[in-house]
Structure 1
Amino acid sequence: MPEEQNIEVIQVKAQKRLQDIRDVSVAVTLVDGEQIERQQIKDTTQLAALAPNVKSSKVAGEGTTPSFNIRGIGMFDYNTSTISPIAIYADDVVSGGANFLDSNLFDIQRVEILRGPQGSLFGRNTTGGAILISSRLPEMEFDGYAGLSLAEHDYQRAQAAVNLPLGEQTAARLAINHLDYDYSMQNLAPNGQDGGMRQDSLRLLVSSEWDNFSVLLKLYSEDWRGAPKPIYSAGILKNPVSGERCLPADVGSRRCVDSFGFAPATDDFWQTEADTADKRHDTDSWGTSLQWQWQLNQIWSLKSITAYKDLQRFHSFDSDGPGNFIEGSLGSDSEFFSQELSLSREGEYSFWQMGLFYLQEQLLQDSDLDLFRDFRAIPSLAANAAQFFYHNKLDNRSLSAYSQVDYYLNPQWILTAGLRFTDESTEYHAVSDLDVEGAFIPSLWDIKGEVEDAEWSGKLALVQKMSAQTSLYYSYSRGYKSGGYNGGYSTSAEQAADSEYAPERLNAWEVGARFYLPDWNMNLDMAAFWYRYQDQQVFVNQTTGLSPYHVLKNAGDSRIHGVELSLAYTPFSQLMLDFNLGYLPKAELGEYREGDIYVAGTQLPFTSKWNFSGLMQYEMNLAGGRMLAQLGFDYQSSFFFDQNENPYLEQPGYSIWHGRLAYQPNEAWELALWGKNLFNREYHELRFDSIAALSAVTELRGEARQLGVEVTYHF
C-alpha cells in the first residue's frame, strides 16, 4: 500500500478492519471508552449526543425496545417484533431483533457510530447505519479497577474489571456492573410506584494468541428487575362537556382535563398520578460468542464468528394515568443464533473481503392489552371492556453472501466496490384470545403466514487523498431492509391479517471531507447526503378508533437530505473542544393512504431539523495531582412523535447539559462530581396519541437534574 507520512492517525473499524479514517468512505464518529465513562453514558440509547443527526429514545420506557434514528431513518416502535434499520454490533455480533438493542455500556474500549446504509459488509437491515461496540480485551498482565458512584434518585453504581493472565498465550478479563436507581418521576397516586430498576451485568472474555492463530471467547449475562416509569396522562380538553380543546402549549397543566374530567393535582412537571401498583419489569438474558482468526499466509486470512443469545422479558405498562382504561404487558422469549465466515486478501495495492452470514432468530410473544377495565363495574358500559391475549411466534431467517474490495488506483485515489445478496424470510403464527364481560373466546384469530424476499445491496465509492492531512470521498450506497410481520396490538382478525409489511429500499448519495490541520491541532469532518427511499417502513398510529391500532406500513417514497459537521480542536494541550452539527432541511414522508389514514409530505417521525452537541474538557496540574473538568450539551430542535404532525404530539426544541469535575491525586485514585440535565430541562421521551379513547396524550417524561459523586481505584 502507499506509504503514509508521519502524521496523527485516527483508526476506525468502519469496514471490519483497522484503517486510517482518511482512507474510509463512511461517515463515522469514534468515541473511546474513557469518554463514555466520563459522560456517565449508561447504555446504547444514550449514545445519540455523541454524533450528528443521531437520535434515540426508550420509546415506551426503560426495559422496552428502544428506538434509534440516524439521518431521519429509524423505527419509532415499541413492538418487540420490530427489526430496527439501525444495527448494533457488540464485539462483531449483530444485535438481531429489537429485544437485543438495549444493553448497558461498561468496560468499553471504543464505540463507532456509522451513519448511512452499510449495504455490503455489515449483515442485517443496516438501512440507516450501524453502531459498533468493542469491549476492552484481556491483556497479558494483572491489573484492573473498581468504582462506586452515588447520586440523586437513589442512584447507585458499582463496577469492576480485572485482567487475569492464564499462561503465555492466554488471558482473561472479567467485568461486572451493578446499577440500582429510581426515576425522577414522583407518583402521587395511592399505592402508585415511582418506578426504578436494578440491573446486574457480567462479561467474561478469554483470548489466546499464537503466531498465526487467535481465539476470543465471550460470555455475558444481564439480570434486570424493577417497575416501569409512571406515565403522565395529559388531558387536552378545556371543557369536557362542550368538547372545547386546550391549546397545545397548555396540555399537561391543570387547565386541561381528559374525557373523565381528570386533571393532575399539580403543575410540577415531574409529578404524576398513575395506577402502577401492580406493574413490573423483568429481564433475564445471556449470550456467548466464539471468534477465531487464522492467518493462512502473508496475504490470506480466515475468520469465523459464532454467536448465541437468549432473552426472556416481561414488561407491564399503564397508559391512562389513574384509571384502568388502557393497560397491558409485553412478554417475549427470544433465541438468536448467527454464524459468519469471512475470507480476506491483503495485497500490495488492494484489500478484498468476502464472506457468508447466517442468522436464525425465534421470538415468542406472550402479551396482553386490557381496554376499559373500569367499565366492567358499570352495567351499562361493561360490554365496552375487553382484554386481548396475544400468543405470537415469529421465526426470522437471514442468509447472505458479500464481497468488498478496496483498490489503491494510485497514491491519490482509492476505489471501494461492494456487493451483498441477502435472502430473508419471516414465518409467523399469530393467535389471540379475547376476554369480554361474561365470556372468554379462545383463538379469536389464528393466522399463519410467511414473508420472503431477496435483494441485492452494495456500495461504490472513491476516496481522494488530497494530501496526507486531507481526503475527500464520493459514495453511492444501496440499502435494503426486508419485510416481515408486525406482531403488535391488533383488536380484530382483519387488523392482525393486515400486519405484514414489504421490504424497503434506499438509494443514498454522499460526499464528504476530512481535514487534519496540524497548525491548529484540529480535525474537521464534513458530509452531505441525498436519500431516495422506496416503500419506506414507517410506524403508523391509527388515531380515529377508540382502540389503539398501530401498524408498520410501507409509507411511500420518502426524500431526505442533509449535512453534517464534526470538529475536534485542541487550542493548547490542556483544553480539548468537540462540536457536532447535524442539519436535515428535508426529511419528508412519502404518500400513504389506508382507510382513514392519509399522510403525504409530513416530517418523518422522531426527526429534528437541527441538532448540535458539544463538549469542553480541561486538564490542569493541581496539588501534585491532576484536575479534569468537563462540560457538554446536546440540542435537538422540535420534532413530532407521529406521522401526522399532530401539534399535541410535538416535542419543542430543547438542550440538555452535563458536566463532571474530577481530581486524580495519583495514578491509582480518581474522585469526581458529576451532573446530568444540569439546568433541569423539561422534555419528553414519548408523547402518544390517546385522544380518541381518552381525550388525552400519554406522556413519558424525561429525567430531571441528577447530581452525583464517584470514586475509582486502579490497580
Structure 2
Amino acid sequence: MLIQNKTSFAVLTAFVFSSQLFANDRPEASLEPEASVSDQDMEIIEVYAQKRLQKITDVSVAVTALNSDSITRLQLKDTTQLASLVPSMKTTNNAGEGTPPALNIRGVGMIDYNTSTVSPIAIYNDGVVSGSANNLSVNLFDLEHVEVLRGPQGTLFGRNTTGGAILLRSKKPEETFGGYVNASVAQHDHQQLTTALNMPLTDNTGARLAVNHHDYQFSTNNLMPNQPDGGLKQTSARLMVVSTFDDLTATIKFEHADWRGKPKPIASNGILKTDGSGLCSPSQAGSSMCQDQLGNQVGGNDFWDVNADTADRTHDSEIWGASITLDWQLSNQVLISSITAIRELDRFHSWDSDGPANFIEGTMGTDNKLLSQEFNLAYENQNLFWQTGLFFLNEKIDQDSSFDLARDLRAIPAAAANALNFFYDNELENESWAIYSQFDYQLNDSFLFTAGLRFTEEETRYHANADLDTAFGIFQDYWDISGNVDDEELSGKLALIKTLSANNSLYASYTRGYKSGGYNAGYSISEQQAKDSTYAPETLNAYEVGLKLNSPKRELQWHVAAFYYDYQDQQVFVNVPDRQVPYHLLKNAGDSIIYGLDSELVYTPSSNLQFMLNIGYLPKAQTGSFEQGDLVVNQTRLPFSSRWNVSTRAIYETNVWQRQLTVELAADYQSDFYFDQNENPYTEQQAYTVINGRISYQAHPDLLLSIWGKNLTNTEYAELRFDSIAALKAVTELKGESRQLGVEIMYSF
C-alpha cells in the first residue's frame, strides 16, 4: 500500500490540489536553480539521474541538481559539504577530516569510521562507483555539475544503495584552447588554488587538465604547549582525454590526490565538577568548572579551545585512479557503453580521543584497491527506453591499524597490566556481481510507466589477525580468524509518472533497496568481539510520491516528495555504553520506520533576484530493536537524523560601473540530533544555523573578484560527540569550523 497513514494522504492531496496552480504551463525558457539570475534563456533543469539526459520532470526520482558555479560560490571543498544545498541530507567527518566520512540522506546513513565500512550512499565519479566509505570524500573542482539522488538506487547503477547516490560529472575537453586560474586566501592560513587548461589535440581529440590545491589550518585552538592546531595540505589533479569518431566516443581519465598534515585535535570535555560536588550539566561539560576522572581540563572557556597531545599524530593519503569509458552508437536506437576503472588509496591516520592524556589513542592504516567493470546497453524507440547492464566490482582492503589503551599506566608497576596495545593486520576482499535492467514505457500522452529489476550476488572474505603488546611482552596472533559472508538478492523498482502539462508532473514509486552484509573490521579487544563482527544484509521498501511543478513563466519552481521507508534488518552502528574500553559494533537492528518530506523551492521574482528554499522534514526515523547478551538497543531515533533540515539562499545581481555585482547569502539550519543510538544528553547536538555569504564583482570579462565568508555568525557546533563517559568521565568532541573570511580572484583565458 503506497499511502501508509493520514499524513501521507494529506500530503498527496495537497500535491494534486497545488498542481492546478501550475496547470497553464507552456514550453518557455526556464531558469535553472543554480544558474546566473540574469540568465533567462536556460531550458528546464536536465539531469542524468537515470544515466541519460532528461528533463527533471520526466524522472521518478527526488534529485537535487547543482552546477559548478554554486559549488564555487559557496566554497564547498568536498562531498562532505554538499548537505547545505540538499534537503534531508547530513554529512560529517566523524573521525576527523581524511577518515571515512558519514553521509546521511533521509535518515539512512552510517556513522562508522571503520575503514572496512560500505556506506548505504554511493558516489559515482564520472560513472565510477566509490566502493567502500574510504572513497566517499572527493574534492569538488572543475565540475560540470553534481546530482544528489535521494532514495534507494540499484536498477540503473553499478552498486546497490539503500540511501541514495551522488553523481559527479567533471568538465570535459572543449573545442577551443582556454582555461582559468582561481586563487583564494582566507583566515586560518587558508590558501586555495584551482586551475584548468583545455587543450584541443587533433580534430577529434581534446584534453583537459585540472589541478586543485588546498593548504589550511583548522580553527581549533590547541592550548597544550608545543602541540599543533591541525591542518592539511591537499593536492588533487585530473586529466581527461576524449576522442570522438564516427560512432564511438572514448573518454580516458587519470586522477591523483595527495593529502598530508596533522589531524584536527579533539576536545576531551570532562563532566565532573572540579569542586567534587557531582556532574556538570551537558552545557557545562568541558568548561573551566569541569574535569575528567584524571583531573584533566580543556583549560579555556572559548568553544574552539582544546587541550590535546597531537604532536605525534599525522595524516597521509595518496590516491591513484584511472578509467576508460567507451560509448558506441551502434545505431540510432542502440547505444553500448563500457566503464572500466581502477583505484588505489594508501592512507595512514593517527588519532587521539583523550585530550592531554595517553589512554585512548590509535591509528588507521589502509591500503584500498578497487577494480570495477560495467557494461550497459540502451535501446530506444518511439514509446520505450530500455537499459540493461552487467556490473562487477572487486575491492581489497588491507588494514594496518592499532588501538593503544592506558599507555600512561605502563610507568606505574601496580597498574601496568592494564596497559594494552593492539596491532591489527586485517585483510578483506569484497566481490560483487550484478545484472540490472530498467525500462520506461510511454503508456499514452499522460502516463509513463517505469519498471526495473536487479539481481546481486556479493561476497566478503575476511582474515582478522591481531597481536597484543603488554608490559609483560608481546602476544603474537592473539587471535587469527577467517571467514566469509555471502548473500544474493533481488531488488527492483516500479513507478508511474503522470504528466500534468508540458513541464509539470506527478509521480508515485515503490523501490526495494538492498545492501549486502559483511565484516566490520574495527577496534576489537577480544577474539569473541572479532568473531561477532559479521553483519547480515539489510533491505528497504521505499514508497514515494512526488510533484515537480513550474509556473507558466517559470518564475516559480517547486519540487516536493513524501516518502515512507519500511526497513528490514537495518544495519546500525552501535556505540556500547558503560564499558571501560570503547566498544562499537555494526549490527542488524531489526525492522524500523522512516517517513518524511523533501521540498525544493526556487522563486525568481525579477531578472536580477532569486530565492531558494529547501526543507527536509523527518518526523519519524526509528531504529529497530536489537539484543545481544547485555547489549540492548531500544527503538530510539536513528543517530544523526534531525527532524528539520532547512536551507535557504538569496542571490541579487546589479550593475556597478557597468560591471556585474553579485551578492549571495545562504543559511543552513539543522534541528537537534544525537551522534549515537543511546540518546545521551551529553552527546546531543542542539539545533544550530550556519550562515555563509559572498560578494563578487566582474571587474573585466575575464576577471572576477570576490570576498566570501563562512559561518558568519560564528555558530558553535560539533562534527562529532562520542560517549567516553564510562572510560574517562568525558565526552570526546570534534569542533565544527569557526568564522572564516576570505578573498578570491579568478582569471579566465
Aligned equivalents of 2:341, 2:536: Cα separation in 1: 28
Aligned equivalents of 1:272, 1:251: Cα separation in 2: 13
Q: Tell me how far 1:142 sits from its aligned partner.
A: 0.3
Q: Secondary structure at the match of 2:510?
A: strand
* Aligned residue in 2 for 1:59: 94
Q: Which among 127, 144, 147 is matched to residue 179 of structure 2? A: 144
Residues 618-650 of structure 1: CA distance to partner in whole angstroms, max 9, x if unpaired? 111111211011000100000000001111110
**Is 1:204–1:220's contact at 8 Å kept on the other side of the alignment?**
yes
Amino acid at match of 1:471: S
* Aligned residue in 1 for 2:135: 100
Amino acid at match of 1:201: S
Q: Secondary structure at the match of 2:689?
A: strand
* Aligned residue in 1 for 2:240: 205
**Is 1:280–1:316's contact at 8 Å kept on the other side of the alignment?**
yes
Residues 47-70 of structure 1: CA distance to partner in whole angstroms, max 9, x if unpaired? 011111000000011101000000
Q: Secondary structure at the match of 2:290?
A: coil
Q: Tell me how far 1:501 sits from its aligned partner.
A: 0.2
Q: Secondary structure at the match of 2:726?
A: helix
Does 2:128 match 1:90? no
Q: Tell me how far 1:357 sits from its aligned partner.
A: 0.2
* Aligned residue in 1 for 2:268: 233
Q: Tell me how far 1:251 sits from its aligned partner.
A: 1.1
Q: Secondary structure at the match of 1:383?
A: helix
* Aligned residue in 2 for 1:111: 146
Q: Tell me how far 1:5 sits from its aligned partner.
A: 4.2
Aligned equivalents of 2:290, 2:590: Cα separation in 1: 37
345-354 vs 252-261, which deviates more?
252-261
Amino acid at match of 2:357: G
Q: Secondary structure at the match of 1:46?
A: helix
Q: Secondary structure at the match of 1:693?
A: helix
Q: Which among 637, 643, 653 is matched to residue 619 of structure 1? A: 653
Q: Secondary structure at the match of 1:249?
A: coil
Q: Which among 190, 197, 206 is matched to residue 225 of structure 2? A: 190
Matches within 5 A, 1:530-549: 530-549=564-583
Q: Tell me how far 1:123 sits from its aligned partner.
A: 2.2
Does 2:249 match 1:214? yes
* Aligned residue in 2 for 1:338: 372
Q: Secondary structure at the match of 1:330?
A: strand
Aligned equivalents of 2:246, 2:668: Cα separation in 1: 46
* Aligned residue in 2 for 1:440: 474
Amino acid at match of 1:508: A
Percent of residue pairs identical: 56
Amino acid at match of 2:344: D
Q: Tell me how far 1:520 sits from its aligned partner.
A: 5.9
536-545 vs 347-356, which deviates more?
536-545
**Is 1:564–1:581's contact at 8 Å kept on the other side of the alignment?**
yes
Aligned equivalents of 2:731, 2:364: Cα separation in 1: 21
* Aligned residue in 2 for 1:646: 680
**Is 1:240–1:257's contact at 8 Å kept on the other side of the alignment?**
no
Q: Tell me how far 1:469 sits from its aligned partner.
A: 2.8
**Is 1:541–1:551's contact at 8 Å kept on the other side of the alignment?**
yes
Q: Tell me how far 1:298 sits from its aligned partner.
A: 1.0
Matches within 5 A, 1:483-502: 483-502=517-536
* Aligned residue in 2 for 1:606: 640
Once superposed, what is the RMSD of the aligned Cα atoms? 1.2
**Is 2:154–2:436's contact at 8 Å kept on the other side of the alignment?**
no
5-14 vs 63-72, which deviates more?
5-14
Q: Tell me how far 1:387 sits from its aligned partner.
A: 0.2
**Is 1:309–1:336's contact at 8 Å kept on the other side of the alignment?**
yes
Does 2:428 match 1:428? no
Q: Tell me how far 1:519 sits from its aligned partner.
A: 3.9
* Aligned residue in 2 for 1:76: 111
Residues 139-191 of structure 1: CA distance to partner in whole angstroms, max 9, x if unpaired? 01001000110000000001100100001110000000111000000111122
Does 2:429 match 1:395? yes
Moved over 3 A (4+): 4-8, 239-242
* Aligned residue in 1 for 2:215: 180
* Aligned residue in 1 for 2:52: 17
**Is 2:28–2:553's contact at 8 Å kept on the other side of the alignment?**
no
Aligned equivalents of 2:699, 2:683: Cα separation in 1: 49
Q: Tell me how far 1:612 sits from its aligned partner.
A: 0.2
Aligned equivalents of 1:142, 1:482: Cα separation in 2: 46
Q: Secondary structure at the match of 2:700?
A: coil
Aligned equivalents of 2:96, 2:570: Cα separation in 1: 25
Unaligned runs of 5+ in 2: 1-25, 31-43
Q: Secondary structure at the match of 2:69?
A: helix
Residues 541-563 of structure 1: CA distance to partner in whole angstroms, max 9, x if unpaired? 11222111111100110100001
Q: Tell me how far 1:573 sits from its aligned partner.
A: 0.5
Q: Which among 363, 378, 385 is matched to residue 412 of structure 2? A: 378
Aligned equivalents of 1:249, 1:237: Cα separation in 2: 13
Residues 391-450 of structure 1: CA distance to partner in whole angstroms, max 9, x if unpaired? 000000000000000000011100000000000000000000000112100100000000
Cα 1:155–1:453, aligned 2, differ >3 Å: closer, same or farther?
A: same
**Is 1:240–1:261's contact at 8 Å kept on the other side of the alignment?**
no
Residues 496-535 of structure 1: CA distance to partner in whole angstroms, max 9, x if unpaired? 0000000000000000001001346111001000000000
* Aligned residue in 2 for 1:122: 157
Residues 225-282 of structure 1: CA distance to partner in whole angstroms, max 9, x if unpaired? 100000000011126867x222112112112211112222111111111010101000
Q: Which among 162, 170, 185 is matched to residue 135 of structure 1? A: 170
* Aligned residue in 2 for 1:50: 85
Does 2:351 match 1:317? yes
Q: Secondary structure at the match of 1:321?
A: coil
Aligned equivalents of 1:517, 1:462: Cα separation in 2: 22
Matches within 5 A, 1:505-544: 505-519=539-553, 521-544=555-578
Unaligned runs of 5+ in 1: none
**Is 1:655–1:681's contact at 8 Å kept on the other side of the alignment?**
yes
Does 2:334 match 1:295? no
Residues 320-345 of structure 1: CA distance to partner in whole angstroms, max 9, x if unpaired? 00000000100000000000001010
**Is 1:239–1:245's contact at 8 Å kept on the other side of the alignment?**
no
Amino acid at match of 1:644: N
